[in-house]
Amino acid sequence: MKRGTQLVCLLLCAALLAGCVPAKQTEESVTAPDSSGAAVDFQSSPEPVLTEQALSEIKALGESPDDNYRTWYEIFVYSFCDSDGDGIGDLQGVISKLDYLQNLGITGIWLMPIHPSMSYHKYNVSDYYAIDPDYGTMEDFETLLAECEKRNIRVILDLVVNHTGSDHGWFREAVSYLQALGDGEPDTAQCPYFDYYNFTREAKNGYTQVPGTDWFYESQFSPDMPDLNLDCPLVRQEIDAVMAFWLDKGVAGFRLDAAKEFHSGNADKNIEVLSWLQETAAAHRPDVYLVAEVWDAFSTITTFYQSGITSIFDYPFGDSGGKIITVLRNAGNAGTVSTYATALEKANAAYSGANPNYIDAPFLSNHDVGRIAGFCSGDALKTKLAGAMNLFMSGSVFVYYGEEIGMVGSGNDPSKRAPMYWNADRDSGTTNPPPGCELPDSYPFGSLEEQAGDDTSVYNYYRQAIAIRSAIPAISHGQTTAETNLNKGCVSAFRKSCDLGECIVLMNIDFSPAQVDLTGYEGWTLAAKLSADGNAITLDGAALTLPAFGTAVLVPAA
Protein backbone atom coordinates (compact mmCIF):
# COMPACT_ATOMS: atom_id res chain seq x y z
CA MET A 1 0.00 0.00 0.00
CA LYS A 2 1.28 3.48 -0.83
CA ARG A 3 2.67 5.36 2.15
CA GLY A 4 0.06 8.13 2.09
CA THR A 5 -2.82 5.68 1.92
CA GLN A 6 -1.28 3.50 4.60
CA LEU A 7 -0.86 6.47 6.92
CA VAL A 8 -4.52 7.28 6.53
CA CYS A 9 -5.34 3.69 7.41
CA LEU A 10 -3.12 3.91 10.46
CA LEU A 11 -4.80 7.12 11.53
CA LEU A 12 -8.21 5.80 10.69
CA CYS A 13 -8.10 2.37 12.11
CA ALA A 14 -6.04 2.44 15.13
CA ALA A 15 -7.59 -0.27 16.89
CA LEU A 16 -6.39 1.25 19.88
CA LEU A 17 -5.79 1.15 23.53
CA ALA A 18 -8.74 3.51 23.69
CA GLY A 19 -10.81 0.94 21.87
CA CYS A 20 -12.57 0.40 18.59
CA VAL A 21 -15.33 2.91 19.26
CA PRO A 22 -17.12 5.55 17.20
CA ALA A 23 -15.28 8.82 16.99
CA LYS A 24 -18.11 10.76 18.56
CA GLN A 25 -17.49 8.84 21.80
CA THR A 26 -13.84 9.93 22.12
CA GLU A 27 -12.43 13.20 23.33
CA GLU A 28 -10.21 13.80 20.34
CA SER A 29 -10.62 13.27 16.63
CA VAL A 30 -8.29 13.47 13.70
CA THR A 31 -8.72 14.98 10.26
CA ALA A 32 -6.39 13.63 7.60
CA PRO A 33 -6.24 13.69 3.82
CA ASP A 34 -7.71 10.78 1.92
CA SER A 35 -5.97 9.35 -1.15
CA SER A 36 -7.30 12.18 -3.33
CA GLY A 37 -6.06 14.87 -0.93
CA ALA A 38 -9.52 15.82 0.33
CA ALA A 39 -10.11 16.19 4.05
CA VAL A 40 -11.79 13.37 5.92
CA ASP A 41 -13.61 14.19 9.13
CA PHE A 42 -13.38 11.08 11.26
CA GLN A 43 -15.85 12.51 13.76
CA SER A 44 -18.63 11.53 11.36
CA SER A 45 -17.12 8.10 10.75
CA PRO A 46 -17.80 4.89 12.69
CA GLU A 47 -14.11 4.02 12.46
CA PRO A 48 -11.91 4.08 15.56
CA VAL A 49 -9.96 7.31 16.05
CA LEU A 50 -6.29 7.76 16.66
CA THR A 51 -5.16 8.66 20.16
CA GLU A 52 -1.71 9.91 21.04
CA GLN A 53 -1.36 7.03 23.48
CA ALA A 54 -1.58 4.46 20.70
CA LEU A 55 0.27 6.31 17.95
CA SER A 56 3.72 4.99 18.85
CA GLU A 57 2.45 1.43 19.09
CA ILE A 58 0.82 1.51 15.64
CA LYS A 59 3.76 3.25 13.96
CA ALA A 60 6.12 0.63 15.37
CA LEU A 61 4.30 -2.08 13.42
CA GLY A 62 5.75 -0.93 10.10
CA GLU A 63 4.03 -0.52 6.76
CA SER A 64 2.44 -3.14 4.54
CA PRO A 65 4.26 -3.41 1.21
CA ASP A 66 2.38 -2.75 -2.01
CA ASP A 67 2.03 -6.41 -2.89
CA ASN A 68 -0.58 -9.09 -3.52
CA TYR A 69 -1.63 -9.50 0.13
CA ARG A 70 -4.87 -7.57 -0.33
CA THR A 71 -8.50 -7.36 0.66
CA TRP A 72 -10.33 -8.38 -2.51
CA TYR A 73 -13.99 -7.81 -3.35
CA GLU A 74 -15.77 -10.18 -5.73
CA ILE A 75 -18.19 -8.41 -8.08
CA PHE A 76 -20.82 -9.96 -10.32
CA VAL A 77 -21.18 -6.95 -12.60
CA TYR A 78 -24.68 -7.98 -13.72
CA SER A 79 -26.03 -7.61 -10.17
CA PHE A 80 -23.84 -4.89 -8.70
CA CYS A 81 -24.85 -1.45 -9.96
CA ASP A 82 -26.81 -0.28 -13.01
CA SER A 83 -25.72 3.09 -14.37
CA ASP A 84 -27.99 3.43 -17.41
CA GLY A 85 -31.38 2.20 -16.21
CA ASP A 86 -31.61 -0.96 -18.32
CA GLY A 87 -31.78 -3.16 -15.20
CA ILE A 88 -28.41 -4.81 -15.81
CA GLY A 89 -25.29 -3.85 -13.89
CA ASP A 90 -22.41 -2.43 -15.90
CA LEU A 91 -18.83 -1.22 -15.67
CA GLN A 92 -19.88 2.40 -15.26
CA GLY A 93 -21.93 1.23 -12.29
CA VAL A 94 -18.82 -0.34 -10.78
CA ILE A 95 -16.91 2.89 -11.39
CA SER A 96 -19.61 4.85 -9.57
CA LYS A 97 -19.08 2.68 -6.46
CA LEU A 98 -15.29 2.82 -6.26
CA ASP A 99 -15.38 5.46 -3.54
CA TYR A 100 -17.68 3.16 -1.57
CA LEU A 101 -15.23 0.28 -1.95
CA GLN A 102 -12.28 2.45 -1.01
CA ASN A 103 -14.11 3.66 2.09
CA LEU A 104 -14.84 0.05 3.00
CA GLY A 105 -11.10 -0.64 2.81
CA ILE A 106 -11.05 -2.75 -0.35
CA THR A 107 -7.71 -2.89 -2.17
CA GLY A 108 -8.54 -5.36 -4.93
CA ILE A 109 -11.50 -6.26 -7.15
CA TRP A 110 -12.22 -9.62 -8.77
CA LEU A 111 -14.62 -9.19 -11.68
CA MET A 112 -16.58 -12.27 -12.65
CA PRO A 113 -16.51 -12.77 -16.46
CA ILE A 114 -17.04 -9.57 -18.43
CA HIS A 115 -16.60 -11.01 -21.93
CA PRO A 116 -19.41 -11.51 -24.49
CA SER A 117 -21.45 -14.60 -23.68
CA MET A 118 -24.81 -16.21 -24.43
CA SER A 119 -25.59 -16.53 -20.69
CA TYR A 120 -26.34 -14.10 -17.88
CA HIS A 121 -23.37 -15.41 -15.86
CA LYS A 122 -20.94 -15.23 -18.83
CA TYR A 123 -18.89 -18.30 -17.95
CA ASN A 124 -19.33 -19.54 -21.53
CA VAL A 125 -17.14 -17.00 -23.29
CA SER A 126 -17.63 -16.24 -26.96
CA ASP A 127 -14.82 -13.67 -27.33
CA TYR A 128 -11.88 -13.38 -24.93
CA TYR A 129 -10.84 -9.99 -26.30
CA ALA A 130 -14.04 -8.00 -25.88
CA ILE A 131 -16.43 -6.58 -23.27
CA ASP A 132 -20.00 -7.86 -23.19
CA PRO A 133 -22.22 -5.06 -24.58
CA ASP A 134 -24.54 -5.43 -21.58
CA TYR A 135 -21.62 -4.31 -19.40
CA GLY A 136 -20.30 -1.49 -21.56
CA THR A 137 -17.31 -0.88 -23.80
CA MET A 138 -13.58 -1.33 -23.77
CA GLU A 139 -13.31 2.38 -23.03
CA ASP A 140 -15.45 1.83 -19.92
CA PHE A 141 -13.10 -0.93 -18.80
CA GLU A 142 -10.04 1.21 -19.38
CA THR A 143 -11.66 3.99 -17.34
CA LEU A 144 -12.36 1.51 -14.55
CA LEU A 145 -8.71 0.47 -14.46
CA ALA A 146 -7.55 4.08 -14.39
CA GLU A 147 -9.93 4.99 -11.56
CA CYS A 148 -8.90 1.91 -9.59
CA GLU A 149 -5.25 2.82 -9.96
CA LYS A 150 -5.95 6.23 -8.45
CA ARG A 151 -7.33 4.44 -5.38
CA ASN A 152 -4.60 1.78 -5.17
CA ILE A 153 -7.17 -0.89 -6.05
CA ARG A 154 -5.95 -3.73 -8.25
CA VAL A 155 -8.25 -5.61 -10.64
CA ILE A 156 -8.22 -9.28 -11.58
CA LEU A 157 -10.43 -10.89 -14.21
CA ASP A 158 -12.10 -14.26 -14.28
CA LEU A 159 -10.12 -16.31 -16.81
CA VAL A 160 -12.24 -19.20 -18.06
CA VAL A 161 -9.95 -21.56 -19.96
CA ASN A 162 -11.40 -24.92 -19.03
CA HIS A 163 -14.04 -24.35 -21.70
CA THR A 164 -15.43 -21.77 -24.10
CA GLY A 165 -18.98 -21.03 -25.10
CA SER A 166 -20.43 -23.22 -27.84
CA ASP A 167 -20.85 -20.04 -29.89
CA HIS A 168 -17.13 -19.23 -29.77
CA GLY A 169 -15.59 -18.95 -33.23
CA TRP A 170 -13.10 -21.74 -32.52
CA PHE A 171 -15.86 -24.20 -31.71
CA ARG A 172 -18.12 -23.10 -34.55
CA GLU A 173 -15.28 -23.66 -37.02
CA ALA A 174 -14.59 -27.14 -35.61
CA VAL A 175 -18.26 -28.15 -35.70
CA SER A 176 -18.76 -26.89 -39.26
CA TYR A 177 -15.70 -28.84 -40.33
CA LEU A 178 -16.94 -32.09 -38.75
CA GLN A 179 -20.43 -31.66 -40.18
CA ALA A 180 -18.95 -31.32 -43.67
CA LEU A 181 -16.42 -34.12 -43.17
CA GLY A 182 -18.79 -37.05 -43.47
CA ASP A 183 -17.11 -40.40 -42.87
CA GLY A 184 -13.60 -39.08 -43.43
CA GLU A 185 -10.87 -38.65 -40.85
CA PRO A 186 -10.13 -35.17 -39.47
CA ASP A 187 -7.00 -33.35 -40.61
CA THR A 188 -5.81 -30.58 -38.31
CA ALA A 189 -3.90 -29.09 -41.23
CA GLN A 190 -7.28 -28.40 -42.79
CA CYS A 191 -8.98 -27.34 -39.54
CA PRO A 192 -6.65 -26.69 -36.58
CA TYR A 193 -9.69 -25.95 -34.41
CA PHE A 194 -10.57 -29.64 -34.37
CA ASP A 195 -7.65 -30.08 -31.97
CA TYR A 196 -8.78 -27.15 -29.77
CA TYR A 197 -11.46 -29.34 -28.19
CA ASN A 198 -11.81 -32.95 -27.09
CA PHE A 199 -13.69 -34.69 -29.91
CA THR A 200 -14.27 -38.44 -30.11
CA ARG A 201 -16.57 -40.88 -31.90
CA GLU A 202 -17.13 -42.65 -28.57
CA ALA A 203 -20.15 -41.66 -26.51
CA LYS A 204 -18.96 -41.00 -22.93
CA ASN A 205 -20.31 -39.47 -19.76
CA GLY A 206 -19.86 -35.73 -19.90
CA TYR A 207 -19.84 -35.65 -23.70
CA THR A 208 -22.40 -34.18 -26.13
CA GLN A 209 -23.07 -35.24 -29.70
CA VAL A 210 -22.22 -32.85 -32.51
CA PRO A 211 -25.51 -32.39 -34.41
CA GLY A 212 -25.63 -34.22 -37.71
CA THR A 213 -22.49 -36.29 -37.05
CA ASP A 214 -21.30 -39.34 -35.15
CA TRP A 215 -18.84 -37.16 -33.21
CA PHE A 216 -19.03 -36.17 -29.55
CA TYR A 217 -17.30 -33.38 -27.65
CA GLU A 218 -16.35 -33.13 -23.98
CA SER A 219 -18.70 -30.82 -22.07
CA GLN A 220 -18.36 -31.66 -18.39
CA PHE A 221 -20.38 -28.65 -17.20
CA SER A 222 -22.93 -28.10 -19.97
CA PRO A 223 -23.44 -28.72 -23.70
CA ASP A 224 -22.97 -24.98 -24.26
CA MET A 225 -19.56 -25.16 -22.51
CA PRO A 226 -17.30 -27.36 -24.68
CA ASP A 227 -14.08 -28.25 -22.87
CA LEU A 228 -10.83 -26.98 -24.35
CA ASN A 229 -7.96 -29.37 -25.05
CA LEU A 230 -5.30 -27.81 -22.85
CA ASP A 231 -2.69 -30.23 -24.18
CA CYS A 232 -2.93 -28.56 -27.58
CA PRO A 233 0.03 -26.20 -28.19
CA LEU A 234 -2.14 -23.88 -30.28
CA VAL A 235 -4.66 -23.56 -27.44
CA ARG A 236 -1.85 -22.63 -25.08
CA GLN A 237 -0.66 -20.01 -27.55
CA GLU A 238 -4.18 -18.59 -27.60
CA ILE A 239 -4.36 -18.47 -23.79
CA ASP A 240 -0.93 -16.86 -23.61
CA ALA A 241 -2.10 -14.16 -26.02
CA VAL A 242 -5.31 -13.58 -24.05
CA MET A 243 -3.41 -13.13 -20.78
CA ALA A 244 -0.91 -10.80 -22.44
CA PHE A 245 -3.73 -8.68 -23.90
CA TRP A 246 -5.41 -8.04 -20.54
CA LEU A 247 -2.18 -7.70 -18.56
CA ASP A 248 -1.08 -5.07 -21.08
CA LYS A 249 -4.36 -3.28 -20.37
CA GLY A 250 -3.34 -3.09 -16.72
CA VAL A 251 -5.10 -5.93 -14.94
CA ALA A 252 -3.14 -7.39 -12.02
CA GLY A 253 -3.93 -11.03 -12.74
CA PHE A 254 -6.64 -13.62 -13.04
CA ARG A 255 -8.95 -15.87 -11.13
CA LEU A 256 -8.66 -19.31 -12.76
CA ASP A 257 -12.07 -20.93 -13.08
CA ALA A 258 -12.55 -24.69 -12.61
CA ALA A 259 -8.83 -25.49 -12.24
CA LYS A 260 -9.60 -28.98 -10.93
CA GLU A 261 -11.44 -29.79 -14.16
CA PHE A 262 -8.76 -28.84 -16.70
CA HIS A 263 -8.21 -32.60 -16.91
CA SER A 264 -11.05 -34.00 -14.82
CA GLY A 265 -9.82 -36.67 -12.44
CA ASN A 266 -6.13 -36.20 -13.26
CA ALA A 267 -4.39 -34.16 -10.58
CA ASP A 268 -0.93 -34.47 -12.14
CA LYS A 269 -2.07 -32.98 -15.44
CA ASN A 270 -4.02 -30.24 -13.69
CA ILE A 271 -0.93 -29.31 -11.68
CA GLU A 272 1.11 -29.14 -14.89
CA VAL A 273 -1.43 -26.75 -16.46
CA LEU A 274 -1.43 -24.54 -13.37
CA SER A 275 2.38 -24.45 -13.41
CA TRP A 276 2.31 -23.42 -17.05
CA LEU A 277 -0.29 -20.71 -16.41
CA GLN A 278 1.72 -19.29 -13.51
CA GLU A 279 4.98 -19.24 -15.44
CA THR A 280 3.39 -17.85 -18.60
CA ALA A 281 1.54 -15.05 -16.82
CA ALA A 282 4.62 -14.13 -14.76
CA ALA A 283 6.64 -13.79 -17.96
CA HIS A 284 4.32 -10.89 -18.87
CA ARG A 285 4.06 -9.38 -15.39
CA PRO A 286 6.44 -10.58 -12.67
CA ASP A 287 4.09 -9.58 -9.84
CA VAL A 288 1.04 -11.13 -11.50
CA TYR A 289 -1.58 -12.48 -9.11
CA LEU A 290 -3.27 -15.78 -9.96
CA VAL A 291 -5.83 -17.44 -7.71
CA ALA A 292 -7.22 -20.83 -8.69
CA GLU A 293 -10.59 -22.39 -7.96
CA VAL A 294 -9.89 -25.90 -6.68
CA TRP A 295 -13.17 -26.83 -5.06
CA ASP A 296 -12.00 -29.78 -3.01
CA ALA A 297 -10.67 -30.99 0.32
CA PHE A 298 -7.63 -29.82 2.27
CA SER A 299 -5.35 -32.60 0.99
CA THR A 300 -6.19 -31.84 -2.64
CA ILE A 301 -5.57 -28.12 -2.27
CA THR A 302 -2.25 -28.85 -0.56
CA THR A 303 -1.27 -31.08 -3.47
CA PHE A 304 -2.26 -28.47 -6.05
CA TYR A 305 -0.01 -25.90 -4.36
CA GLN A 306 2.90 -28.00 -5.64
CA SER A 307 2.18 -26.36 -9.01
CA GLY A 308 3.71 -23.12 -7.76
CA ILE A 309 0.43 -21.26 -8.22
CA THR A 310 0.29 -18.12 -6.09
CA SER A 311 -3.10 -18.72 -4.46
CA ILE A 312 -5.87 -21.29 -4.23
CA PHE A 313 -9.22 -20.47 -2.66
CA ASP A 314 -9.25 -21.93 0.83
CA TYR A 315 -12.40 -24.05 0.61
CA PRO A 316 -11.56 -25.98 3.82
CA PHE A 317 -12.27 -22.77 5.77
CA GLY A 318 -15.04 -21.25 3.60
CA ASP A 319 -18.54 -22.29 2.55
CA SER A 320 -21.14 -23.94 4.78
CA GLY A 321 -18.98 -26.97 5.57
CA GLY A 322 -15.76 -25.07 6.16
CA LYS A 323 -13.91 -24.67 9.42
CA ILE A 324 -15.18 -21.15 10.16
CA ILE A 325 -18.86 -22.05 9.98
CA THR A 326 -18.30 -25.40 11.72
CA VAL A 327 -16.72 -23.61 14.66
CA LEU A 328 -19.42 -20.92 14.79
CA ARG A 329 -22.17 -23.53 14.74
CA ASN A 330 -20.52 -25.00 17.82
CA ALA A 331 -19.99 -21.67 19.56
CA GLY A 332 -19.65 -22.25 23.30
CA ASN A 333 -18.27 -25.75 22.80
CA ALA A 334 -14.67 -25.47 24.00
CA GLY A 335 -13.64 -28.72 22.38
CA THR A 336 -14.59 -27.48 18.92
CA VAL A 337 -13.59 -23.84 19.36
CA SER A 338 -10.06 -24.73 20.42
CA THR A 339 -9.50 -26.50 17.12
CA TYR A 340 -9.79 -23.31 15.09
CA ALA A 341 -6.35 -21.93 15.93
CA THR A 342 -4.72 -25.33 15.46
CA ALA A 343 -6.47 -25.72 12.08
CA LEU A 344 -5.03 -22.36 10.97
CA GLU A 345 -1.57 -23.55 12.01
CA LYS A 346 -1.98 -26.88 10.21
CA ALA A 347 -3.13 -25.23 6.97
CA ASN A 348 -0.30 -22.70 7.06
CA ALA A 349 2.29 -25.45 7.56
CA ALA A 350 0.87 -27.68 4.82
CA TYR A 351 0.38 -25.00 2.19
CA SER A 352 3.76 -23.37 2.80
CA GLY A 353 5.38 -26.79 2.73
CA ALA A 354 3.97 -27.39 -0.75
CA ASN A 355 4.73 -23.85 -1.98
CA PRO A 356 6.87 -21.60 0.24
CA ASN A 357 5.73 -18.56 -1.76
CA TYR A 358 2.01 -19.26 -1.51
CA ILE A 359 -0.48 -16.58 -0.52
CA ASP A 360 -3.59 -18.04 1.09
CA ALA A 361 -6.95 -17.00 -0.39
CA PRO A 362 -9.57 -17.24 2.37
CA PHE A 363 -13.24 -16.54 1.68
CA LEU A 364 -16.61 -17.13 3.31
CA SER A 365 -18.95 -17.36 0.34
CA ASN A 366 -18.97 -16.71 -3.39
CA HIS A 367 -21.23 -16.86 -6.43
CA ASP A 368 -21.42 -20.68 -6.30
CA VAL A 369 -22.41 -21.21 -2.66
CA GLY A 370 -24.99 -19.91 -0.23
CA ARG A 371 -24.28 -16.60 1.45
CA ILE A 372 -22.60 -16.50 4.84
CA ALA A 373 -25.39 -14.75 6.77
CA GLY A 374 -27.66 -17.63 5.83
CA PHE A 375 -25.15 -20.13 7.21
CA CYS A 376 -25.30 -18.13 10.45
CA SER A 377 -29.13 -18.21 10.43
CA GLY A 378 -29.24 -14.42 10.47
CA ASP A 379 -27.49 -14.26 13.84
CA ALA A 380 -25.77 -10.86 13.89
CA LEU A 381 -23.02 -11.86 16.33
CA LYS A 382 -22.04 -14.95 14.38
CA THR A 383 -22.27 -13.12 11.06
CA LYS A 384 -19.95 -10.42 12.34
CA LEU A 385 -17.39 -12.76 13.85
CA ALA A 386 -17.43 -14.90 10.69
CA GLY A 387 -16.33 -11.78 8.85
CA ALA A 388 -13.49 -11.17 11.29
CA MET A 389 -12.40 -14.81 11.21
CA ASN A 390 -12.09 -14.52 7.45
CA LEU A 391 -10.50 -11.07 7.38
CA PHE A 392 -7.97 -11.92 10.08
CA MET A 393 -6.65 -14.93 8.17
CA SER A 394 -3.32 -14.45 6.41
CA GLY A 395 -3.05 -13.93 2.68
CA SER A 396 -5.36 -12.33 0.15
CA VAL A 397 -8.81 -12.28 1.72
CA PHE A 398 -11.92 -12.26 -0.49
CA VAL A 399 -15.25 -10.63 0.36
CA TYR A 400 -18.27 -11.42 -1.83
CA TYR A 401 -20.32 -8.36 -2.76
CA GLY A 402 -23.13 -7.84 -0.22
CA GLU A 403 -21.37 -9.97 2.38
CA GLU A 404 -20.39 -6.78 4.19
CA ILE A 405 -24.10 -6.02 4.81
CA GLY A 406 -25.13 -9.58 5.62
CA MET A 407 -27.10 -10.35 2.48
CA VAL A 408 -28.58 -13.85 2.31
CA GLY A 409 -29.15 -16.03 -0.73
CA SER A 410 -29.15 -19.74 -1.47
CA GLY A 411 -30.74 -22.35 -3.69
CA ASN A 412 -30.12 -22.04 -7.41
CA ASP A 413 -27.15 -20.10 -8.73
CA PRO A 414 -29.08 -16.94 -9.71
CA SER A 415 -30.42 -16.67 -6.15
CA LYS A 416 -26.84 -16.60 -4.85
CA ARG A 417 -26.15 -13.69 -7.22
CA ALA A 418 -29.00 -11.36 -6.31
CA PRO A 419 -28.77 -7.58 -6.79
CA MET A 420 -26.66 -5.63 -4.34
CA TYR A 421 -29.02 -4.25 -1.69
CA TRP A 422 -28.05 -0.59 -1.84
CA ASN A 423 -31.30 0.75 -0.38
CA ALA A 424 -34.68 -0.50 0.77
CA ASP A 425 -36.51 1.08 -2.16
CA ARG A 426 -34.21 -0.69 -4.62
CA ASP A 427 -33.61 2.42 -6.68
CA SER A 428 -30.47 4.43 -7.45
CA GLY A 429 -28.37 1.83 -9.23
CA THR A 430 -30.07 -1.38 -8.13
CA THR A 431 -30.29 -3.97 -10.91
CA ASN A 432 -33.01 -6.40 -11.89
CA PRO A 433 -32.58 -9.90 -10.44
CA PRO A 434 -30.78 -12.30 -12.81
CA PRO A 435 -33.04 -14.80 -14.61
CA GLY A 436 -34.34 -17.42 -12.18
CA CYS A 437 -33.33 -15.49 -9.06
CA GLU A 438 -35.61 -15.88 -6.06
CA LEU A 439 -35.24 -12.90 -3.76
CA PRO A 440 -35.76 -13.42 -0.02
CA ASP A 441 -38.81 -11.80 1.53
CA SER A 442 -36.44 -9.59 3.50
CA TYR A 443 -32.77 -9.29 4.44
CA PRO A 444 -31.96 -9.79 8.13
CA PHE A 445 -29.86 -6.65 8.59
CA GLY A 446 -31.34 -4.19 6.10
CA SER A 447 -29.83 -2.35 3.16
CA LEU A 448 -26.52 -0.54 3.00
CA GLU A 449 -28.32 2.79 3.27
CA GLU A 450 -30.01 1.65 6.50
CA GLN A 451 -26.80 0.23 8.00
CA ALA A 452 -24.42 3.04 7.08
CA GLY A 453 -25.51 5.30 9.96
CA ASP A 454 -25.66 2.55 12.55
CA ASP A 455 -22.34 2.14 14.35
CA THR A 456 -23.36 -1.37 15.47
CA SER A 457 -24.30 -2.63 11.99
CA VAL A 458 -22.70 -5.54 10.15
CA TYR A 459 -21.45 -3.04 7.56
CA ASN A 460 -19.61 -0.86 10.06
CA TYR A 461 -18.22 -3.94 11.79
CA TYR A 462 -16.72 -5.00 8.45
CA ARG A 463 -15.25 -1.53 7.98
CA GLN A 464 -13.57 -1.73 11.37
CA ALA A 465 -12.30 -5.27 10.80
CA ILE A 466 -10.82 -4.35 7.42
CA ALA A 467 -9.26 -1.21 8.91
CA ILE A 468 -7.58 -3.26 11.64
CA ARG A 469 -6.33 -5.73 9.03
CA SER A 470 -4.85 -2.82 7.04
CA ALA A 471 -3.21 -1.20 10.06
CA ILE A 472 -1.44 -4.29 11.41
CA PRO A 473 0.53 -5.91 8.56
CA ALA A 474 1.23 -9.08 10.52
CA ILE A 475 -2.46 -9.99 10.28
CA SER A 476 -2.31 -10.35 6.50
CA HIS A 477 1.34 -11.34 6.06
CA GLY A 478 2.11 -13.43 9.14
CA GLN A 479 2.79 -17.13 9.40
CA THR A 480 0.17 -18.56 11.77
CA THR A 481 0.66 -20.71 14.83
CA ALA A 482 -1.73 -21.52 17.66
CA GLU A 483 -0.90 -19.57 20.84
CA THR A 484 -1.10 -22.57 23.14
CA ASN A 485 -0.97 -20.63 26.43
CA LEU A 486 -4.02 -18.54 25.47
CA ASN A 487 -5.94 -20.93 23.21
CA LYS A 488 -8.15 -22.20 26.00
CA GLY A 489 -11.84 -22.67 26.67
CA CYS A 490 -13.86 -20.80 24.05
CA VAL A 491 -11.11 -18.30 23.32
CA SER A 492 -9.28 -19.10 20.12
CA ALA A 493 -5.81 -17.53 20.12
CA PHE A 494 -3.21 -17.56 17.37
CA ARG A 495 0.02 -15.73 16.63
CA LYS A 496 1.01 -14.11 13.31
CA SER A 497 4.73 -13.59 12.65
CA CYS A 498 6.60 -12.11 9.68
CA ASP A 499 9.36 -9.61 8.91
CA LEU A 500 6.77 -6.82 9.23
CA GLY A 501 6.17 -7.68 12.87
CA GLU A 502 3.93 -9.98 14.85
CA CYS A 503 0.61 -9.98 16.63
CA ILE A 504 -1.64 -12.28 18.64
CA VAL A 505 -5.34 -12.50 17.78
CA LEU A 506 -7.83 -13.62 20.44
CA MET A 507 -11.45 -14.43 19.59
CA ASN A 508 -14.14 -15.32 22.11
CA ILE A 509 -16.35 -17.77 20.22
CA ASP A 510 -19.07 -17.93 22.83
CA PHE A 511 -22.30 -16.19 23.81
CA SER A 512 -20.84 -15.46 27.26
CA PRO A 513 -17.97 -13.09 28.15
CA ALA A 514 -14.53 -14.57 28.64
CA GLN A 515 -11.65 -13.65 30.94
CA VAL A 516 -8.14 -14.17 29.59
CA ASP A 517 -5.11 -14.18 31.88
CA LEU A 518 -2.25 -12.40 30.08
CA THR A 519 0.32 -13.11 32.78
CA GLY A 520 3.59 -13.68 30.97
CA TYR A 521 2.64 -11.31 28.15
CA GLU A 522 3.79 -8.13 29.87
CA GLY A 523 5.77 -7.20 26.74
CA TRP A 524 2.59 -7.01 24.69
CA THR A 525 0.01 -4.25 24.39
CA LEU A 526 -3.63 -4.26 23.37
CA ALA A 527 -3.68 -2.66 19.91
CA ALA A 528 -7.12 -3.53 18.50
CA LYS A 529 -10.58 -4.15 19.86
CA LEU A 530 -13.45 -5.42 17.75
CA SER A 531 -16.74 -5.81 19.62
CA ALA A 532 -19.60 -7.71 18.00
CA ASP A 533 -22.25 -6.93 20.64
CA GLY A 534 -21.18 -3.38 21.57
CA ASN A 535 -19.86 -4.31 24.99
CA ALA A 536 -16.42 -3.09 25.99
CA ILE A 537 -13.21 -5.05 25.58
CA THR A 538 -11.04 -4.16 28.58
CA LEU A 539 -7.58 -4.85 29.88
CA ASP A 540 -7.05 -4.43 33.63
CA GLY A 541 -3.52 -5.43 34.54
CA ALA A 542 -3.14 -8.93 33.11
CA ALA A 543 -6.92 -9.53 32.90
CA LEU A 544 -8.37 -9.21 29.40
CA THR A 545 -12.17 -9.24 29.19
CA LEU A 546 -13.72 -10.27 25.89
CA PRO A 547 -17.49 -9.91 25.49
CA ALA A 548 -19.52 -12.42 23.48
CA PHE A 549 -17.88 -12.94 20.06
CA GLY A 550 -15.36 -10.18 20.84
CA THR A 551 -11.94 -9.98 19.24
CA ALA A 552 -8.71 -8.41 20.49
CA VAL A 553 -5.30 -8.02 18.86
CA LEU A 554 -2.08 -7.78 20.86
CA VAL A 555 1.18 -6.39 19.47
CA PRO A 556 4.64 -6.12 21.04
CA ALA A 557 5.04 -2.87 22.94
CA ALA A 558 7.19 -0.31 21.18
Q: Residue 550: what pLDDT?
A: 96
Average pLDDT over residues 150-164: 97
Given the DSSP bridges, would you call strands 253-256 and 154-159 parallel, antiparallel or unpaired?
parallel
> Is 60 exceeded by the pLDDT of residue 206?
yes
User: SS3 letters for 222-277?
Assistant: CCCCCEECCCCHHHHHHHHHHHHHHHHHCCCEEEECCHHHCCCCCHHHHHHHHHHH
Average pLDDT over residues 159-168: 98
- Phi, psi angle pair for 256, to nearest 5°: -95, 105
**213, 179 contact by CB (below 8 A):** yes
Domain range list for the chain: 73-161+238-319+356-468, 169-218
Helix axes 458-471, 380-391, angle to 10 degrees: 20
Pick the catalytic residue from 47, 218, 224, 293: 293
Q: Residue 60: what pLDDT?
A: 52
> Is 90 exceeded by the pLDDT of residue 220?
yes
Q: Residue 183: what pLDDT?
A: 87
- What does the alpha-carbon distance between residue 332 and residue 310 come to, in Å, rounded to a whole number? 36
Mean pLDDT, the chain, whole residue set: 89
pLDDT band at 303 (very low <50, low <70, confident <90, very high): very high
**87, 432 contact by CB (below 8 A):** yes
> Is 80 exceeded by the pLDDT of residue 113?
yes
**95, 89 contact by CB (below 8 A):** no
**451, 460 contact by CB (below 8 A):** yes
**339, 331 contact by CB (below 8 A):** no
Q: Which CATH architecture has domain 73-161+238-319+356-468?
A: Alpha-Beta Barrel (3.20)
Q: Residue 225: what pLDDT?
A: 98
Closest Cα partner for 196 from 159, 223, 225, 233?
233
Range with the poorest average pLDDT among 47-51, 110-114, 450-454, 506-510: 47-51
Q: Residue 63: what pLDDT?
A: 63
Pick the catalytic residue from 257, 379, 502, 510: 257
Q: What percent of the chain has pLDDT over 70?
A: 89
Q: Residue 61: what pLDDT?
A: 55
Q: Residue 62: what pLDDT?
A: 57
Range with the poorest average pLDDT among 200-204, 267-271, 428-432: 428-432
Average pLDDT over residues 361-383: 95
Helix axes 267-284, 233-249, angle to 10 degrees: 40
Q: Residue 281: what pLDDT?
A: 98
- What does the alpha-carbon distance between residue 516 and residue 520 come to, in Å, rounded to a whole number? 12
Q: What is the per-residue pLDDT across 428-482, written as a single tens digit (0 to 9) for each?
A: 889 999 999 999 989 999 999 999 999 899 999 999 999 889 888 999 999 999 9
Q: Residue 428: what pLDDT?
A: 82
Average pLDDT over residues 215-242: 98
Q: Residue 527: what pLDDT?
A: 87
Q: What is the per-residue pLDDT across 11-59, written as a single tens digit (0 to 9) for each?
A: 333 333 233 332 222 222 222 223 322 222 222 333 343 333 344 545 5
- What does the alpha-carbon distance between residue 495 and residue 484 come to, in Å, rounded to a whole number? 10
Catalytic, 257? Answer yes
Catalytic, 238? Answer no
One-letter identity of residue 307:
S
pLDDT, greater one: 56 or 165: 165
> Is 80 exceeded by the pLDDT of residue 195?
yes
